[in-house]
Amino acid sequence: MTFVVTENCIKCKFTDCVDVCPVDCFHVGPNFLVIDPDECIDCTLCEPECPAEAIFSEDELPEGQEIFIELNAELSKTWPIITDVTDPLEDADNWNGKEGKLDLLEK
């Protein structure tokens, strides 16, 4: 099993999640983070840390977020590892909770 970053991280990128991961499995892109499913040890620590509530166990994904299982696996192969908290993206608070952000994902 693995944990998965889902749509509401897009254009927010609060990065609180990276601070607690014991095995450094977060990878960063321009406006989104992903979890490497081969590294995640299902410790659950990151899930409650995300202010956007964007992280779920893969077997508890909200409806419509299934595509993010594949996106996390695919993008974590090429995006660099992130271990330090950074400032959220500009306007993150306004984007938090908006629907339809998948089209805005920058690879």
Please tell me whether residue 43 binds ligand SF4 under the rule CB under 6 A. Answer: yes
Query: To the nearest whole angstrom, how small is the minimum distance from the Cβ of residue 11 to ligand SF4?
Result: 20
C-alpha distances out from residue 102 to 79, 82, 86, 96, Å: 18, 21, 22, 13
Binding site for ligand F3S (CB under 6 A): 5, 9, 12-17, 33, 50, 52, 54-55
Helix ranges (DSSP H) in the chain: 67-75, 92-95
Q: What is the DSSP string of 46-70?
A: SGGG-TT--EEEGGGPPTT-THHHH
Within residues 55-94, the interface with ligand SF4 by CB under 6 A covers none
Please tell me whether residue 20 binds ligand SF4 under the rule CB under 6 A. Answer: yes
10 binds, among ligand SF4, ligand F3S, none (CB under 5 to 8 A by kind): none
